[in-house]
Structure 1
Amino acid sequence: MSDLDVRETVLITGASSGIGAALAHCFAADGADLILAARRRIELEQVAAGVREAFDVRVEVIPVDLSKTEGPAELCQAIAAMQLNVDVLVNNAGFGILGQFAESKRSLQMAMIAVNVAALTELTHRLLPDMLQRGRGGILNVSSVAAFPPGPLMAVYYASKAYVQSFSDALRYELRETPLTVSSLAPGPVASEFASRSGIGSLGVFDRNSLPPEVVAAAGYRGFRRGKRNITPGIFNRWGTLATRWLPRMTSAKIVAKIQGRKLE
């Protein structure tokens, strides 16, 4: 195991596909044991089987719905029942919804906040004290380039990722004098299930700039291990996030609205 003195255990949420599944392979390749969590047991078991076949590591699977209020507690209770300690928490679970906020289903919007914001926060709060006590590990939060501008037609999703980004930066500062690492991974368009599950179908003008989840995960893993604050894979995506720092907020909102509007056509 490179750069690691003792075997670590990594919890990855949203690990049944996409970036989460790819991150599982990244951590396992470095010898870490894994706890994979997501709603879909069959897909989780498939990811776990692939990791076990490729690497000599322990992989536990915990199906859980993090949109439910009791979800984070159930996940932590299941981990405790396995007598495992989480060294690295990867908060990857999340989803988005495309469309006018006023016309959307309230239950879906609230479920998005529960997964993208509440579950991420609660899992961090539940697991961080033990990490500090052991003096090792860290947190990798999957944010998005959507964290930086306002997001008309995906208003709550963009706002939820802004929370993740701000929370990650603040937590990193609080833990700056500890051995723990806090990083955020802010991908742009990714060739995964996210677009279809969000109702997007196509990434429109950004299709040609989308990155495979394996590329995004590898960049996030390397950045986390190197202690980087924020990792944004892809030069196009990095330029975009830099542009939002000097563009007026309503100008950014107008640009995003035009991009999102094309996906609804």
Structure 2
Amino acid sequence: MVKDQLKDKNIVITGASGGIGAEIAKLCAASGANLVLLARSLDKLQQLQAALLQKHQIKVDVFQLDVSDTEKIEQVFKEIFSVVGHVDILVNNAGFGVFREAHEVKIDEIKGMFEVNVIGLMACTSMVLPKMRERRLGHIINIASQAGKIATPKSSVYSATKHAVLGYTNALRMELSDFNVQVTSVNPGPIATNFFNIADEKGTYVKNVQKFILQPEYVAGKVVASMLTNTREINLPRWMNMGSIVYVLFPRLFERIGKKAFNKK
């Protein structure tokens, strides 16, 4: 996919060392965008950087960043602005989950999920907002989840973080509506990435939902297609989003009927 309007735009992607973050980076590079790639694994970022620079005449800067470290976020974004001047698009992709029943989740895991999935996302966003508002141009894309719409057993904390992301995203969209800054939430179902190496230690969930798992290239394509457009939400797959609508209208019935399917984790 080549998107002409991304040419020479500055795009920052968190969690860019693999999965949909890396796939988004590849598609943006093919469209002529300049990239700033952030992740904990500097080695993987540098490998991706080298591959992109070999294929495309663009700028690619990489910074090691754990988004749970808010002080480091401020430091890194100061460096980003000194290098690229401004950010046109921020893709908040970094995140992780742990699938366990609520009483089994460790406090450190709870803190970790909120620090990365919620606070880190908010902190990165707060770094780019002032200049986007000033320039009256920009796009914030938050990778949330269908788990942010439908809470399920064994993902209580993860679902809570994604509910928070959706709440933040929806409020942010209204705040920025008069500044020509677009805000999009991306709500995918399960994706074939390393996410499940941590989230699904036993492999049970992946095995049970194998036929529904999305490919990262497909999700990335939908995200890139939405860039610099007035896209409120991206729900993948579309049929799964119907479940969230039914859930809002008939929560008791939905939970009773869906209980068996939800417990496949």
* TM-score, normalised relative to structure 2: 0.90
Contact 1:150–1:253 (8 Å) recurs in 2: no
Give 1:254 deviation, angstroms: 5.6
Contact 1:64–1:74 (8 Å) recurs in 2: no
Partner of 1:107: 108
Partner of 2:91: 90
Partner of 1:214: 217
How far does the alpha carbon of each residue in 1:127-175 deviate from its partner, in whole angstroms, 9 at most, with x for none? 1011111222210000111111223211111011111112111111121
Partner of 1:262: 264
Partner of 1:147: 148
- Specify the code of the residue in structure 2 equivalent to 1:79: I
Listed as ranges, the matches of 1:62-101 within 5 Å are: 62-82=63-83, 84-101=85-102
Give 1:210 deviation, angstroms: 1.0
- Specify the code of the residue in structure 1 equivalent to 2:64: P
- Matched residues, percent identical? 33
- Specify the code of the residue in structure 2 equivalent to 1:91: N
Partner of 1:132: 133
- Specify the code of the residue in structure 2 equivalent to 1:261: N
Determine if the alignment matches structure 1 residue 164 to structure 2 residue 165. yes
| Distance across 2 between alignment mates of 1:211 and 1:76 | 32
- Specify the code of the residue in structure 2 equivalent to 1:123: C
Partner of 2:28: 27
- Out of 241, 249, 253, the position equivalent to 2:244 is 241
Contact 1:149–1:253 (8 Å) recurs in 2: no
Partner of 1:174: helix, strand, or coil?
helix
Partner of 1:15: helix, strand, or coil?
coil
Contact 2:138–2:228 (8 Å) recurs in 1: no
Give 1:59 deviation, angstroms: 0.6
| Distance across 2 between alignment mates of 1:172 and 1:107 | 31
- Specify the code of the residue in structure 1 equivalent to 2:93: N
Listed as ranges, the matches of 1:30-41 within 5 Å are: 30-41=31-42
| Distance across 2 between alignment mates of 1:255 and 1:114 | 33
Give 1:120 deviation, angstroms: 0.8
RMSD of aligned residue pairs (Cα, Å): 2.1
| Distance across 1 between alignment mates of 2:83 and 2:177 | 31
Q: 1:69 to 1:108 in 2, by over 3 A?
A: farther
Contact 1:152–1:256 (8 Å) recurs in 2: no
Give 1:230 deviation, angstroms: 0.1
- Specify the code of the residue in structure 2 equivalent to 1:224: M
